[in-house]
Amino acid sequence: MSIATVENIKPLHDTVLAKLKENFGDAIISSAIDYDFPVFVVRRENVFAVLKFLKEDSELNFHFLTTMCALHYPENPGKEFGMMYQLHNMPKNFRIRLKTFIPGNDLEIPTVTSLWATANWMERQEYDFFGVIFTSHPNLKRILNMDDITFFPLRKEFPLEDQTRDDKNDSMFGR
């Protein structure tokens, strides 16, 4: 297909939304089209079932988990953290994004390793950088940082600069 515009994507977005609403009803909180991506926000309780349905449905066939990433918006009380999944359908060349938001004091979300094996390391990375706990993950430990650190570096409150330097002018380096 040619350049993805809202006109091209809308029919596919509507198909996916119709199928999701038919099977999951009120688990789907919202949907939108961001540039060339349909984005769906679902509830945490249903996220595993929705992803399983999207993967196994013969018409939708989202067999490829392209990427997943944690989100941190501290200005949304009750929905500070979130997870974003990008699913790709190669035969139809069609991608969607799925988001789910969770509160900061209850950072648990089911793992999708049983659906896509690639999620194993991607979830370890999100645990390493944000502290999101993936229930029933086979091996949830840090992957990129050193094993003995106690903080989660990519959270918004974590400072950018290395705190052990004392030879830089603090006022200019945000310390």
Partner 1 sequence: MEEEVKRSKLEIGQSPAGLEGPGFFATSLEKAVGMARKNSIWPLPFATSCCGIEFMATMASNYDLGRFGSERLSFSPRQADLLMVMGTIAKKMGPVLKQVYEQMAEPRWVLSMGACASSGGIFDTYSVLQGIDRIIPVDVYIPGCPPRPEQVIDGLLQIQRLVESESLRRRDSQEYKDLMTKYGIE
**Looking at 146, 156, 157, 169, which residue binds partner 1 (CB under 8 A)?**
146
How big is the CA angle at 58 (ends 56 and 64), to the nearest 5 degrees?
A: 55
**Looking at 156, 160, 169, 171, which residue binds partner 1 (CB under 8 A)?**
160
Number of residues forming the site for partner 1 (CB under 8 A): 13
- Tell me the window of 31-39, 82-90, 132-140, 163-171 that interacts with partner 1 (CB under 8 A): 163-171
What is the residue whose two structure tokens read 């490829």? Answer: 64
- Tell me the window of 8-16, 46-54, 70-78, 164-172 that interacts with partner 1 (CB under 8 A): 164-172
- Based on the shown chain and the rule CB under 8 A, indicate whether residue 145 belongs to the binding site for partner 1: yes
Nearest to partner 1 of 26, 157 (CB atom)? 157
- Based on the shown chain and the rule CB under 8 A, indicate whether residue 158 belongs to the binding site for partner 1: yes
- Based on the shown chain and the rule CB under 8 A, indicate whether residue 162 belongs to the binding site for partner 1: yes
Core vs surface per residue 54-66: b (16+ CB within 10 A) or e: bbeeeebbbeebe
- Based on the shown chain and the rule CB under 8 A, indicate whether residue 168 belongs to the binding site for partner 1: yes
Nearest to partner 1 of 56, 161 (CB atom)? 161
Contacts 24+ apart (CB under 8 A), 15-24: 15/59, 15/60, 16/40, 16/54, 16/60, 16/96, 19/53, 19/57, 19/59, 19/60, 20/50, 20/53, 20/54, 23/53, 24/49, 24/50, 24/53
